[in-house]
Amino acid sequence: MQDGRRRPEGDLDQLAPEVFRPTMPEPNAPPPDPNGFIRSNTRLLTPPLVPEVRLHLAEESLPIWHKTEEELGESGLPPPYWAFAWAGGQALARYLLDIASLVAGRTILDIGSGSGLVAIAAVIAGARHAVANDIDAFALAACRLNAAENDVAIELSGVDLLQAAATSPPPPCDVLVLADLFYEKPLAAAALDLATRAVRAGTTVLVGDPCRSHFPADRFSRLVTYNVPVTRELEDSEIKATSVWKLAA
């Protein structure tokens, strides 16, 4: 990323490719001290729609993006998605906390977990076991720190389950959750493929998404809609109408 680049403006799925790069990168190599990096470059905050959960979050997008590249000694890295509470994740976490019977006593798999918000909310709501899956080493470190901050236990997985979806059976779980993964075409296709396979295997699939560019709304049933407060740095408005969706069998 070039010094002096302007902050991203507009909706996540409308950002120019040179600002928000493709979202299916190779896994980041772990930094020497991911926990220290996260603590030094974020604050403990509560997402507006989910005040029950405390997360290590960034207050601005570009500074932490710069620092991530500096920490790893690389350029052209994807944005630090783990450092923000995106609209879909907030909506899905709120829904699980409000309708705890959906996850109580069940096993949960959170794909593209980022900060771990949805997995953490699932455990708070009574899930028996939750797995936070992400290919970003910083995200997994953030999930670990955020889980500890909320006094819950979650399992971490760095396996690229989206890439494996075409050739492997879906991971066993009772509920598969995905949030904010439908803004880039290849990523959206992989997410839908995994979700479809999971439903066929008898898994409940729930998605949090504000109808981004590549979300196939005709394949899903809308369960609830929230007006989610978000940052104008990363979205096109300060309030994002965001729904929780269920994939039909």
pLDDT of residue 80: 84
Question: Confidence band (pLDDT; 50, 70, 90) for 3?
Answer: very low
pLDDT in tens, 63-104: 565 666 566 566 556 678 899 999 999 999 999 999 999 999
Q: What is the DSSP letter of 174?
A: S
Rounded (5°) CA angle 42-91-96 = 105
pLDDT of residue 134: 97
pLDDT of residue 72: 59
The amino acid present at 195, given as its one-letter code, is A
Instruction: State which residues form the domain around 71.
Output: 1-249
Core vs surface per residue 172-182: b (16+ CB within 10 A) or e:
ebbbbbbbbbb
Q: Is the pLDDT of residue 172 over 90?
A: yes
pLDDT in tens, 94-121: 999 999 999 999 999 999 999 999 999 9
The lowest-confidence range among 19-28, 108-117, 226-235 is 19-28
Query: How many alpha carbons fall within 13 Å on the CB side of residue 224?
Result: 14
Whole-structure pTM value: 0.85
Stretch 157-185: mean pLDDT, rounded?
A: 92
Q: Could you tell me the two tokens for 65? A: 């993006």
Average pLDDT, the chain: 85
Give me the CATH number covering residue 101.
Answer: 3.40.50.150
The lowest-confidence range among 4-18, 115-129, 141-155 is 4-18
Q: Is the pLDDT of residue 9 over 70?
A: no
Residues in Cβ contact with 63 at an 8 Å cutoff, skipping those fewer than 6 apart: 41
pLDDT in tens, 32-47: 688 998 998 899 999 9
- Tell me which residue of 221, 161, 145, 235 sits closest to 193, measured CA to CA: 161
- Kind and range of the H or E run holding 130: strand 129-133
Q: How many domains does the chain have?
A: 1
Residue with tokens 């992989």: 190
pLDDT of residue 1: 33
Q: State how beta strands 43-45 and 129-133 pair.
A: unpaired
Q: State how beta strands 43-45 and 204-209 pair.
A: unpaired
